[in-house]
Structure 1
Amino acid sequence: MSRPRNPFPLVLWLLLLLITPLWAQTGVDQDQRATSQLREAYRQVDGLRDITLEVRGGVAVLRGDVPSLEASLKAEELAQKVDGVLTVDNGLRIESKVTERLSPVLSKLRQKVQTFITYLPLLGVAVITFLLFLALGKSATRWGGLYRRLSSNVFIQDLLRQIAYFVCLAAGLLLALEILDATALVGAVLGTAGVLGVAIGFAFQDLAENSLASILLSLRQPFSPNDHVVIDGHEGKVVRLTSRATVLLTLDGNHLRIPNASVFKATILNYSKNPERRFRFTVGVDTEEDLTFARELALRTLQESTGVMSDPPPQCLVVELGDSTVNLDVVGWVDQREAEYLKVKSEAIRRVKESFDEAGILMPEPIYKVRMEQTEPARRPAKKHPVAPSKEVVDISPETHLEQRILEERVSEEQDLLSAAARLE
């Protein structure tokens, strides 16, 4: 008896015959859907509308002309994003005709012109807003009474004017950008301004330091106009304080400008703060002279000299015993409001020298003595009785030439931050 055949292979063969056409139909439908989807996408992009395309077995075949390489890459990128496309056969050609290349450019230009025309009303409103704030800023610089009430310092008043102007200018610019819906540009402008401010701060560090020093010097003035000062080794009389430099008139009549940053950090010697000023000079007398007599003669001469103050009284001190002289330090005081310092000192030196000469007090140059044995000592000349100092009239009045020059300089329209209302240190 024969065994029955297994029907499973026959059934499997029949199923494969039925399913294969269905798979093929499914692949064709997927290619058609991908082709339709990609064609619809190309219609929405300028320069890609004329592309011939077909998707076969998951391969997107692109043919035709495009205006630029960028358009070709864009078409390939879109094709790769469509479901059912495994790879792209990019056979697109770059258009070389001038008219075809210019066509998309002109199209974009027309769109931009139309957009600009649409924005013209908003642009007009933004410009008017900015101009209004600009006019407000210029008007704010003329509110002199307000700034004078806030500060009596001229430099601070000018600084407040500038701050008010730039605040109005910045507010107008930001509001105009907001009207144009350029908020991203506002952020970019603020960020750029911050970075630029830091860069400018480093680049102009010395200028910023000088400006800050000008503000501090104008608020707490270490000197007044016409003060006789020595700043960082430079001597002269103060003419004015500007926003950049302190102007001195040297004793030789020359203008000297010292940066305010240097003035702020410098050691300042002010001879005019205290009108009483001391002068001193050294006189060397012979080692064999009577020092008590020489000191008394120098003091009496100073007391009788015109311009030397009696209170504080003059002094004469023995300060050094040298090889050939004994040095006397002669000190006196001058009231600079009534007498010229240099004239009084000059006259005091002259009178002491004449008094010593008339009294026979030797004031030798540096010498060396040679002792000779078995010789008679040289005879010194007889002492003369001191003669009363002469009553010669000497001009010791204060010097007014520099003061007159300073008054003429201060009449000019150049900026001056020195104010009588400011606090003096």
Structure 2
Amino acid sequence: MAEFMQRRPSVNPTRPKPQGAARLACVTFFFLLFAGCNPALGQDTTTGNNDTSSAPAPTVEIDNVAPDEAITQRLREIYESSGWFTDLRVQTTSGIVTLEGMADNEEHHAWAVDVARRTQDVISVIDKLAVDPTVDLQSSQQIVLGSLSSLVQDFLVRSPLLIASVVVLVITAFLARVVGWLVVKIFSRRNLRPSLQDLVAQLSSIAIWIAGLLTATVVAFPGMTPSKALTVLGLGSVAIGFAFKDIFENFFAGMLILWKYPFDRGDFITCNEITGKVERITIRNTMIRGLDGELSVVPNADLLKNNVDVLTSQPQRRVRLICGVAYDEDVDAAREVIRDAVASCETVQGKRTVEIFAKEFASSSINYEVAWWTGSKPADIRRSRDEVVAAIKRSLDNAGIEIPFPYRTLTFKDASVATTIRDSIAASTES
């Protein structure tokens, strides 16, 4: 203790108080106060978008870095334990890993590179691994069997839902038929056109089918809701529109035809060299039965884009016929004979006037244009034409009026040529 007391510095009672420390404290206080009040000194030089103080630039560590041999050994142990590589060589130089060898597939190749990149103290990876081009039939068989097994299991799990969706579709088909039949029954009592009845019935069936398909989809896939299904349809509407442009075109054309086009079931029409009876008009196409019995299926868009002749739009049609008499006959007398013959036919409409006009000077006869009215159906026209031609022939024969056939009069300047021809004709006649 005495020694400690001796080493302890002595305190001079006459020493003044430490005023220098107080002065230093005051100067420090005013300096800090000045720095806080000065905008230039108190301004934060960092910004919210670029905080360089909190995120230092990446650097390559120098101290505490694993040796290259340790990295190589660790990666080699990992790769060898997997059993996915052959002739594998791993080399590390200054933190740069080089991989060489053969991987059994592309997935394991990518896995090896990813493991090397995530290894501590690895700076970069040089990938020289190759993929084995040979096909492993056993592994492929296992993959296929696994996929089939998962499909079968998924089908068995969803089979009750699929059966329920099939039942929904069957009910939908039944309801569509019943509603279509009821619509036709109800509207037939109001004397609507058959085509308009078909339009309402088909639109009702389409609406029921849309509702049924949405319901079946929701039943088969519980995660699918009607709103999601409609969203998917909305997203794919552009692609569907381009893919099925012709179908939609025929659909809307069929609606226009069924709504207010001037022909209906049972009418005879002509379009694009097709003449026949309209048997059925659907949303997409029109069935036309030809005059020879063949059935033509015409897209509705063609009926809207091309000219259509409705042969039975009126109950009667006018038929024209050319009839010739010899130049030696009385024109007016022949006209009256033909008129009486046409008027006497049963298929000619008596309320309509039979028109007989001298039309032209032909090579061997004076031709008359005969016009009369009969039924508008093709069969009615053929029967009426047959009856009128036969009646005209009988009447002209009975009246002694000649119906000439075409003949030629040849005049030769050299009489010897005419004599030779005449003699040859006479000889051939006698023989």
SS of aligned partner of 2:289: strand
1:346 aligns to what?
386
Letter in 1 for 2:335: R
Contact 2:348 2:372 in 1 (8 A): yes
The Cα shift of 1:355 comes to: 2.1
> In the TM superposition, what is the alpha-carbon distance from 1:218 to its structure 2 partner?
3.9
Deviation at 1:319, TM superposition (A): 0.9
Task: Identify the residue that residue 248 of structure 1 maps to in structure 2.
Answer: 289
SS at match of 2:207: helix
Structure 2 residue aligned with 1:282: 322
1:364 shift after superposition: 1.7
User: Quick check: 1:257 aligned with 2:296?
Assistant: yes
In structure 2, do the counterparts of structure 1 residues 87 and 168 end up closer, same or farther at CA, with 3 Å as the change threshold? closer
**Residue pairs, 1:206-217, within 5 angstroms:** 213-217=253-257
CA distance in 1, matches of 2:126, 2:404: 116
Cα deviation code 1:311-347 (max 9, x no counterpart): 321111011122332111111112469x943333322
Is residue 284–residue 326 contact of structure 1 (8 Å, CA) maintained in 2? yes
- Distance between the aligned counterparts of 1:192 and 1:172, measured in 2? 22
Q: Distance in 1 between matches of 2:128 and 2:370?
A: 110
**Which residues of 2 match residues 267-416 of structure 1 at below 5 A?**
267-335=307-375, 340-368=380-408
Contact 1:138 1:165 in 2 (8 A): no
Aligned with 1:143 (options 166, 170, 175): 175
Residues 302 and 352 in structure 1, CA contact (< 8 A), matched pair in contact too: yes
Question: Is the 1:47–1:67 Cα contact (8 Å) retained in structure 2?
Answer: no
Aligned mates of 1:279, 1:152 — CA distance in 2:
34
Partner Cα distance (1:240, 1:321) in 2: 47
Residue 193 of structure 1, CA deviation: 6.4
Q: Is 1:165 aligned to residue 197 of structure 2?
A: no
List runs of 5+ in structure 1 lacking aligned partners: 1-25, 95-100, 373-425
CA RMSD of aligned residues (A): 5.6
Instruction: Tell me if the contact between 1:286 and 1:325 (Cα under 8 Å) persists in the aligned partners.
Output: yes
- Opposite residue 29 of structure 1, the aligned amino acid is N
Q: Is this contact kept in 1: 2:172–2:209, CA < 8 A?
A: no
Paired position in structure 2 for 1:19: none
Paired residues of 2:276 and 2:288 also in contact (CA < 8 A): no
Distance, in Å, in 2 between the alignment partners of 1:226 and 1:61 is 84
Which amino acid letter does the alignment assign opposite residue 332 of structure 2? T
Partner of 1:155: 202
Code of the aligned partner of 1:367: Y
Does the aligned pair in 1 maintain the 2:269–2:276 contact within 8 Å? Answer: yes
Equivalent residues in 2 for 1:65-76, closer than 5 Å: 74-75=111-112
Q: In structure 2, what is the Cα distance between the partners aligned to 1:294 and 1:89?
A: 111
Deviation at 1:224, TM superposition (A): 3.8
Separation in structure 1 between the aligned mates of residue 368 and residue 104 of structure 2, nearest angstrom: 104
Question: Quick one: distance in 2 between partners of 1:129 and 1:278?
Answer: 65
- Aligned match of 1:201 in 222, 234, 244? 244
Contact 1:279 1:332 in 2 (8 A): yes
User: Does the 8 A contact of 2:324 with 2:403 survive in 1?
Assistant: yes
In 1, are the aligned partners of 2:317 and 2:375 still within 8 Å (CA)?
yes
Change (3 A) 1:175 1:195: farther
> SS at 1:30's partner residue?
coil
Q: Distance in 1 between matches of 2:126 and 2:363?
A: 113
For the structure 1 residues 136 and 30, does the alpha-carbon distance in structure 2 shift closer, same or farther, using more than 3 Å as the test?
A: same
When Rg is computed on C-alpha atoms for both structures, the one with the higher figure is 2
CA gap of 1:85–1:160, structure 2 versus 1, over 3 A, is: closer
| TM-score, normalised by the number of residues in structure 2 | 0.52
Identity %: 19
Contact 2:164 2:220 in 1 (8 A): no
Amino acid at match of 2:308: I
Query: Structure 1 146/91 Cα, relative in aligned 2: closer, same or farther at 3 Å?
Result: closer
**What amino acid is the match of 2:364?**
S
Contact 1:321 1:327 in 2 (8 A): yes
Structure 1 residues 191, 62: CA separation in 2 closer, same or farther (over 3 Å shift)?
farther
Higher relative contact order, chain-length normalized (CA < 8 Å, sep 6+): 1
Where do 1:81-120 residues align within 5 Å? Answer: 81=118, 84-86=121-123
Inter-partner Cα distance in structure 2 for 1:348 and 1:215: 42
Aligned equivalents of 1:190, 1:238: Cα separation in 2 = 35
Moved more, 265-274 or 123-132: 123-132
CA contact (8 A) 2:311 2:376 kept: no
Cα distance in structure 2, aligned partners of 1:310 and 1:146: 48
* Matches of 1:280 and 1:73, distance apart in 2: 87
Q: Does structure 1 residue 29 correspond to structure 2 residue 64? A: yes
